[in-house]
Chain A
Amino acid sequence: MAKKNKKDSTRRNFLKQGFTIAAGSLLGGGLIAACTKEQGPVATGEKVKVLTADGKLMEVDRGHAMCCNVPSSADVRKGIPGRHFVMVVDLTRCRNARACVKACSKMHFLAPGQEWIKVFLMQDSEDTTPYWMPKPCFHCDTPACVNVCPVGASFKRDDGLVLVDNERCIGCKFCMAACPYSSRVFNWKAPDNQVDAKYSPMTGVPQKVGTVGKCDFCPDSFLTGILPDCVTACPNGVYFFGDKNEDVVTNGVESFRFSDLVKDKAAYRYMEELGTQPNVYYLPPVDRRFPVEEGFESVPDSSKAAYQVKRAHLKKYKI
């Protein structure tokens, strides 16, 4: 079922109960930080009940709930005001469990073999250690893909996200050539098993033949405080996601202040020298929790050969 349909059914449940649901409203402090209007949160005195991501009821002031409405269609291109979404990927925790890849592919109805998140076996040079590197779209602040798009189908939002409108995309693949991080995939044929949902660049479904797709950070669920699927799917808590303006990132279990985490763990951005200014930060793979060999457990024997590092300047990594 489409993500959208699910939301509708959630909404129906509560309407049935007779609660006033501010559907999709942000909760708690997130709610307040989103209110960038000059006056701050204005209490109206009228309380509304809202459902949090973990399924508990809360009562918030209507004034708080209303100042961060579901973005209208025009806002799909502008994003959620006052936000700057970032991801921190902890390379010490990744063991190529591939739960993120599966969750993402399922959620976005990707064709077999298509991956919006890829997990790379990296080895920077001959003597350095190999490590697993999960790579979603970096949602760069100066995105090469957006620059070259002839029709504005790829666009950068003010909340940091780079999204693709596959109803506008003409399929020229220039963005795929321009992206230095191999983040984009193409629907080379008509995708099977698609849902009959209304398309939005925020959900990315249904996929369409002849258009480009890529990791979108699952922004349709942000408004209900739900983390991207890869983050929640990961068994090792590799991904930390959050709003840079709120200065907190979480993997669903642990929360850290973004500024502290980045500083304390010496985070870096992949190929910073390209000037693309990614919004995905990596924590270096020091003191890794899993030996790199463990990462091959989730790889079927028939696919292991794919991880032979084929770069001419690198020694082959023995599996």
Chain B
Amino acid sequence: MNEEEKSIQNLTAYKPHLETISKKGIALIGVLLLFILFGVVCLYTQVAKGHVVTGMRDNVVWGLYIVNFIFFIGISYAGALISGILHLLRVPWRTPIIRMAEMITVISTMIGPSYILLCIGRLDRLPNIALFGRIQSPIIWDVIAITTYLSGSIIFLYLAMIRDMALLRDNPVKTAKWRNPIYKFLSVRYNDTTKQKELLNVSTDLLSIVIIPLAILVHSVLAWIFGMTLRPGWHSTIFAPYFVVAAVYSGTGVLIMVMWIFRKVYHLEAQITKIHFNYLGIIMIILGALYGYFTFSEYLTSWYGSIKWDMEVLFRLFSPGEYLIEFIFAVFIGVLVPIIIVTVPKFRNINSIAFAATIAVFALWVKRYLIIIPTLESPLLPIHDLRPEYVHYSATWVEWGLTFAGIAMFILLFYLFSKFVPIIPVVRTGEEKDYSRLRKVVFEKQMKKAIKENKKGDTITTGIVILLMLVASSGAMAQDDTQVQTVLKLEYFHVDSLQSLTGTLLSRQEGRYQPLEGMEINFKLMQGGTEKSIGSALTNEKGKVAMAIPEEVLATGGDKGLYTFSASFMGKDKYGKSSGATTMKPLKMEMSFFQKEQEKMADLKAFEQDKDGKWVPVEGLEVQFYVPRTFSLLKVGKGKISGGAASLEFPTHIPGNALGYLTLMAKVEDNEVYGNVEVSGTINWGKPLPPVKVIKRGLGDTDAPLWMVYTLIVLLSLVWFHYMYVIYTVFRIRHLGKQ
């Protein structure tokens, strides 16, 4: 029997699965669709109500979604590493399983990232990633790596399918014939000529070389999302290889599970034999041992080092009330049980290996949960919160619903795909002859039986948790109509040459003072029983209102040199009227600077009007010196004016501007006679500010570090160059087929 005959024989064996679908199959699709539909309901709930419907809160910001994300990306390793490495090493027994492995990769790489989308609070803003993407962010690394990886996996899966497509084109399916043109299109006129065969082999080899480092990178990047943070249990240098090993381990486990299921359901006992389970089982336990080794190393290091944050996470993992059971399952059972089952010959059979794989896969899911949740529940600062959901994470029905929907989607896509393309590559290539002979006997025996539809039904576990949510509403505040007392305070300010009045209007309610905004205040000058209006203005949000005193008002000489001002509020709505008054005597202050040998001095002169309106020096007035700053005045000294003058050593040690310009202010505060008077002067005697430096913040900058940009460009161009070359090869195969 030559290769072509064998291929056709294989196809004939598989064809019933392509052409028919059993009632149980339809029922399975129905059940899966129900799960997916429920997932859609969950998704709608989450989008409509916000992430409040999930168990995630400010401390545990990521939950099941991220766990599922890591899990699915992890199992995608089945295709990349298993099929890639087995292909490169020309391992003869790989053929029947590589299609499944690659399908696991493609489907889980599509489902995995959708979980990260579920973590995103604003899905409508996803374009921002393209618009404002910062390649310093590990999330951007992840986006780039996963899209590249998914593209590569799809191309890889397709390359391996071309031969089967050609065979299907030549032997069309009899039901659902709309598939035949698709097969024809996808077969790219492949006729198995020497040249075409060579091109196909070269590009498959090329791609499997590219996809292995790429796969390692994808999971490393995923690990770095956690490793780059300063969180206990995450900030670990071995996280990337640890994630990679755990991922391949779970990927192998899922591959064994898938093999077992299809073997049963599609009766592929002939193609998928005990050898596959044994070999993959051995690969799996080697990876399991590696995973155990990394785990041991990780926890031993943090336990021995016993940094208190690390210890807190470890205590959580080791506490019976918290995560001890999960920890034992994920770390001990998940490693030891598969190893015992596979290594002890007595226990080793197809079913037990599949069971071991299932244990490993579940353990790894739990391990991802243990990586994410306990760390987030142990922030560096304590949690003072009584709301249990802020202290401990527990997933809600929305999250479980979407988790099961993802798994259902995985199974559904797998099932539908197996109805479209043979789940086992039907076309054998030359290098696998040895292996074909090995399983020839079994195969022929199997052929006699002919293919029957599966007997065993598919069982789906259902576990839906429904939580009731209570919405509390708050009552409205009561209002009272009684009149509210108001207080109006009036202050006089004399700042440099500007003299002004500032009123502060406050309401008094239950002993509390509140500023009143938008109230009109009238300012007046009181002079010998007469009132002269100065103007009116509205209060601001702090109840303050300011009014400049016109020069001509102060030129009147006042009442023997004294001026009395009043401000009044006429009352509005429920607020009663009030007024305030202040009396003051004008004070004139001047500031000058002089340098005496080494001493830099500020000189202050102060004058007041005597009874005749003549300006005379002031005696014995307390004055404070300040340096004004943005939010406050810094006191630098005080003095007493004697003989109309005071002086202060200039505070040269205080920073001024770039040229050292510094303002010094002299102030008379709340004086009974003079009110508030201040005068200031600016001179370049302060400490000059060093010139503003352009601050380089590295990762925090808008632009990424150059090495990162270059690395990314080089890596991406290398990978995509190979993709393009492979795609070009496919077109060449098509072109060759024309001749």
Contact = CB atoms under 8 A, between A and B. Distances in A.
Interface of A: 1, 6, 9-10, 12-14, 16-17, 19, 26-30, 32-41, 49, 51, 53-59, 81-83, 113, 118-122, 135, 141-144, 146-153, 155-156, 158, 168-174, 176-178, 180-182, 184-190, 208-212, 222, 225-227, 241-243, 245-248, 250, 252, 255-257, 271, 274, 276, 302-303, 305-307, 309-313
Contacts of A141: 697
**Which has the most chain A C-beta neighbours within 10 Å: B120, B382, B680, B692?**
B382
Given A181-B380, A241-B631, A57 B657 contact: no
A111 B223 CA distance: 33
Return the 10 tightest CB-CB contacts between A and B, nearest first. A171-B121, A28-B628, A210-B121, A55-B544, A30-B630, A250-B632, A29-B628, A189-B50, A189-B52, A40-B659
A121 B384 contact: yes
Given A16-B538, A30-B629, A243-B629, A149 B381 contact: no
A111 to B, nearest CB: 10
B229 A188 contact: no
A45 B513 CA distance: 41
B230 interface: yes
Contact of A35 (B126, B383, B386, B657): B657
B658 interface: yes
Given A32-B682, A177-B229, A255-B629, A170 B129 contact: yes
A155 B695 CA distance: 13
A28 B633 CA distance: 9
A312 B631 contact: no
B121 A209 contact: yes
B504 interface: yes
A30 B62 contact: no
Nearest to B539: A13
Interface of B: 49-52, 56-59, 61-62, 119-122, 125-126, 128-129, 131-134, 136-140, 143, 225-226, 228-231, 308, 311-312, 315, 319, 376, 379-387, 491, 493, 495-498, 500, 502, 504, 517-518, 535, 537-542, 544-548, 627-635, 654-659, 661-663, 665, 676, 680, 682, 684, 689, 691-692, 695, 697-700, 702
A40 B658 contact: yes
A181 B382 CA distance: 10
B630 A243 contact: yes
B121 A178 contact: no
B498 A57 contact: yes
B5 to A, nearest CB: 55
Contacts of A211: 121-122
B132 to A, nearest CB: 4
Contact of A151 (B134, B311, B627): B134
B231 A180 contact: yes
**Which has the most chain A C-beta neighbours within 10 Å: B134, B225, B662?**
B134
B119 A173 contact: yes
A10 B132 contact: no
A168 B264 CA distance: 51
A168 B125 contact: yes
B699 A36 contact: no
Contacts of B691: 36
Contact of B502 (A57, A144, A181, A303): A57
B128 A168 contact: yes
Contacts of B695: 158
B427 to A, nearest CB: 44
A16 B131 CA distance: 44
A247 B655 contact: yes
B245 to A, nearest CB: 23
B386 A306 contact: yes
B134 A150 contact: yes
Nearest to A119: B384
A121 B633 contact: no
B183 to A, nearest CB: 41
A182 B137 contact: no
B700 A142 contact: yes
Given A29-B663, A186-B121, 7 more contacts: A32-B662, A144-B230, A151-B134, A176-B58, A180-B231, A188-B56, A310-B383
A192 to B, nearest CB: 9
Given A36-B657, A152-B702, A178-B230, A188 B52 contact: yes
A189 B228 CA distance: 28
Nearest to A312: B315
B121 A305 contact: no
B548 A55 contact: no
Contacts of A36: 657-658, 689, 691-692
A151 to B, nearest CB: 4
A40 B682 CA distance: 11
B546 A33 contact: no
Contacts of A26: 630
A102 to B, nearest CB: 14
Contacts of A37: 658
Nearest to B676: A56
A67 to B, nearest CB: 9
B311 A313 contact: yes
A177 B502 contact: no
A172 B116 CA distance: 8
Given A182-B59, A248-B632, A143 B657 contact: no
Given A13-B545, A168-B128, A211-B122, A144 B629 contact: no
A147 B655 CA distance: 32
B112 to A, nearest CB: 16
Nearest to B535: A17
Contacts of A276: 230
A156 B628 contact: no
11 contacts: A35-B658, A39-B659, A119-B384, A135-B381, A150-B137, A151-B125, A181-B380, A188-B52, A243-B629, A274-B230, A313-B308
Contact of B627 (A29, A34, A120, A271): A29
A187 B61 contact: no
Contacts of A274: 230
A49 B502 CA distance: 14
B515 to A, nearest CB: 10
**Which has the most chain A C-beta neighbours within 10 Å: B59, B61, B376, B538?**
B61
Nearest to B543: A55
Given A41-B657, A210-B50, A246-B655, A147 B380 contact: no
Nearest to A26: B630
A188 B56 CA distance: 9
Contacts of A222: 630-631
Contact of A303 (B62, B386, B504): B386
Contacts of B129: 150-151, 170
B384 A151 contact: no
B230 A180 contact: yes
Contacts of B381: 118, 120, 135, 181-182
Nearest to B50: A189
Contacts of A248: 627, 629, 631-632, 634
B495 A58 contact: yes
B122 to A, nearest CB: 4
Contact of B498 (A55, A59, A83, A210): A59
Nearest to A141: B697
B534 to A, nearest CB: 11
Nearest to A183: B381
A59 B495 contact: yes
A68 to B, nearest CB: 10
Nearest to B500: A57
A151 B127 CA distance: 10
A28 B51 contact: no
Contacts of B541: 1, 6, 9-10
B121 A13 contact: no
A246 B629 contact: yes
Contacts of B312: 311-313
B368 to A, nearest CB: 15
Contact of B231 (A173, A177, A227, A307): A177
A295 B461 CA distance: 52
A27 B496 CA distance: 13
A96 to B, nearest CB: 10
